[in-house]
Amino acid sequence: MFKKIFIAAWLAAALPAFATSVLPVDLGQMIDQAAVVFQGTVTEVRSGRDPQTGMLVTMTTFRVDDVLKGDVPSSYTIKQIGGEDASTGLKFRAIGVPTYKAGETYVLFMNGVSAHGLTSPVGLSQGRFEVASGDAGLEVGNGHDFRELTENTPDLQLPAQARGANGVVHRIGLDDFKAMIRKHAGTKQ
């Protein structure tokens, strides 16, 4: 019995754990580092074992509603590490890698695609902005304060209503956000 416990403990210690560590990224850095930036609505999310790598991955397909930087086709699929193999029940979640829900709309700042077809947003969940209805119509946010996201980039001024707000600014208008991205991307291309 002791031998079985020892072997199980040794195997658990020997197997690598997958964790991610990401430095904070401001909005200017996201725009500059992204290969593509787009607004898209999720049409399909599926996961399973990737035949190319053998890893569990999640494939998310977006209907592209607006391209803000780079070339993006009208339907764009991303492959991210982590997912579930329904045939075996095996699940793997990479901490920090964002997830998506069918029918939801996002603005994504995507890194380039690796040789294995994998990609993720710049700064992982930092580069995924949810689009939702708010007081000012459609708004975006990623859980971070827009004042902090824009403080290091002079050309990324917050809209007047956000600059005048007291405290943390978690969401701004979608149209204002896209105008900020286009302005900054235009000066860097």
Asked if residue 2 belongs to a domain, the reply is no
Q: Rounded to two decimals, what is the model's pTM?
A: 0.85
Helix (H, G, I), strand (E, B) or coil at 51: coil
Residues spanned by the domain of 128: 22-188
**Does 88 map to a domain?**
yes
158 occurs within a structural domain: yes
Segment 100-121 shows an average pLDDT of 97
Q: Is residue 78 part of a domain?
A: yes
The domain total for the chain is: 1
Which pLDDT does position 135 carry in this prediction? 84
Burial class (CB in 10 A: 0-12, 13-18, 19+), 93: middle
Q: Residue 154 has which token pair?
A: 């002079």
Taking CA atoms, 140 is separated from 76, 154, 176, in Å, by 20, 20, 10
Residue in 102, 97, 104, 103 with CA at minimum distance from that of residue 118: 97
Distance of alpha carbon 170 from alpha carbon 177, whole angstroms: 12
For residue 3, is it within any domain? Answer: no
Say if 170 falls within a structural domain.
yes
The mean pLDDT of 70-88, rounded to a whole number, is: 95
Where are any strands of DSSP class E within the chain? 36-49, 56-69, 75-81, 83-85, 90-92, 105-110, 128-134, 137-141, 172-173
Strand-pair partners of 165: none
Examine residue 36 and state whether it is found in any structural domain, yes or no: yes
Tens of pLDDT along 126-177? 999 999 999 879 999 999 999 999 998 888 888 887 887 788 999 999 999 9
Question: Within 10 A of 80 (CB to CB), how many other CB atoms are there?
Answer: 20
